[in-house]
Amino acid sequence: MTAFVRDQWYVAAYSGEVARDLLARTILGEPIVFYRTEDGASVVALADRCVHRRYPLSASSLENDTVVCGYHGFTYDPTGTCVRVPGQTRIPRTARVRSYPVVEQDSLVWVWIGDPDRADPTAIPRARHLDSPGWSTVRGMEPIDADYGLLVDNLLDLSHETYLHNGYIGTPEVAETPIATSVDDEAHIVRVSRRMDDAACPPFYARSTGIDGRITRRQDIEYFAPCLYLLHSRISPVGDPTRAYHTEITYAITPSAPGKVYDFWAVSRDFATDDVELDTFLHDFNRDVVIQDVDALNLLQRTLDSEPDGYQELSINIDAGALAARRVLAAMTAGAADGASASAAGSAPGSASASASPPSSSSASASASASVTG
């Protein structure tokens, strides 16, 4: 299993999911309950276990901005401090539950998992297109019963589109076109780009843009380890670069527990932003694509679980981005941010060793994706 990276921000929910109902999410193995304060301004995140007999607070109820435990009535304020216990006026000093730092940004609810004193909101990567004028977004979330490292592998290697998503977003050119990979070890960013000069237009883009001929297609990935993944996609008809369509595909990879991950996905576009039918098409079509990945990763995890230890994994050129991501995650886990001595690249799922070398630890902040859409 891929080790969890603590002392990091993770997407816990979409802003629209957190309201006056108690929302339960388990993040890096920590059960957390989320709710919005009455004035709508803040999101509260508390440990989802009552300090008394550990009843889940998510199965309890809100009273103004406090949570009243549904078992015996311990009542907690937004800081996690117990402000009322039943049958007595004295409140035990230890009657409190942990509260988590939360930041709401770009329509995402980020929660800090780790030492609260180290939580720096400015370190949260941006996904402005999710909540900006001129963009329209459809979104969803699918839980997967797989090591989050398998989802990282999946998203960093889009050659699988040709096979797993054939007839949806995949065409032969995706798997056939070489990638360029670069790593910013200091910022923990992996970039992978693929430029297709003359490619078939897959149904996803043909139906959303009306293009019926061949296209130039650019895929520029930025993975801000450990959680945020952006795919800057740009297509235009071959020979007509002025007719360009930008799509931003966002994933948040949030480990829930060992062998479980939340797969947050969103598709944002800067064209036909008022087209409600297109919203429906893109939502339903992309959800089908995501479910193809979910099914594949569930199957892959079950397959890996049934294997004896020590399987020698084989890697090839297309794996360069995923191997780089594994190395970055391993370095972050070890606390070695520069990653230079991260020899633990094989800690990724099902991997005893990797035969292809990951890209060198170049500090390529000006990477191949410099011209991506924003």
Partner from Fe ion, ligand FES, none binding residue 207, C-beta < 5-8 Å depending on class: none
Measured distance CA(77)–CA(85) in Å, rounded: 12
Which of 56, 75, 55, 54 lies closest to 66, judged by CA? 75
CB of 192 to Fe ion, least distance (A): 14
Partner from ligand FES, Fe ion, none binding residue 74, C-beta < 5-8 Å depending on class: ligand FES
Partner from Fe ion, ligand FES, none binding residue 293, C-beta < 5-8 Å depending on class: Fe ion
CB of 154 to Fe ion, least distance (A): 6
Instruction: Number of residues interacting with ligand FES: please give it, by CB under 6 A.
Output: 9
CB of 26 to ligand FES, least distance (A): 19
> Is 71 an interacting residue with respect to ligand FES (CB under 6 A)?
yes
> Is 74 an interacting residue with respect to ligand FES (CB under 6 A)?
yes
CB of 55 to ligand FES, least distance (A): 4
Measured distance CA(268)–CA(131) in Å, rounded: 10
> Is 293 an interacting residue with respect to Fe ion (CB under 5 A)?
yes
Measured distance CA(244)–CA(238) in Å, rounded: 10
- Give the range of 46-54, 111-119, 197-205, 255-263 binding ligand FES by CB under 6 A: 46-54
> Is 73 an interacting residue with respect to ligand FES (CB under 6 A)?
yes
Measured distance CA(368)–CA(191) in Å, rounded: 7
Please name the helix (run of DSSP H) or strand (run of DSSP E) that holds residue 350, with its range, or none.
none
Residues whose CB falls within 8 Å of the CB of residue 89, separated by 6 or more in sequence, listed in order: none
Say if residue 41 is exposed, middle or buried (CB neighbours under 10 Å; 0-12, 13-18, 19+): exposed
Q: Does 56 sit behind a cis peptide bond, omega within 30 degrees of 0 on the bond before it? A: no
> Is 52 an interacting residue with respect to ligand FES (CB under 6 A)?
yes
Partner from ligand FES, Fe ion, none binding residue 50, C-beta < 5-8 Å depending on class: ligand FES
Residues in the chain: 374
Please name the helix (run of DSSP H) or strand (run of DSSP E) that holds residue 210, with its range, or none.
none
Return residues touching ligand FES (CB under 6 A).
50, 52-53, 55, 69, 71-74
Return residues touching Fe ion (CB under 5 A).
293
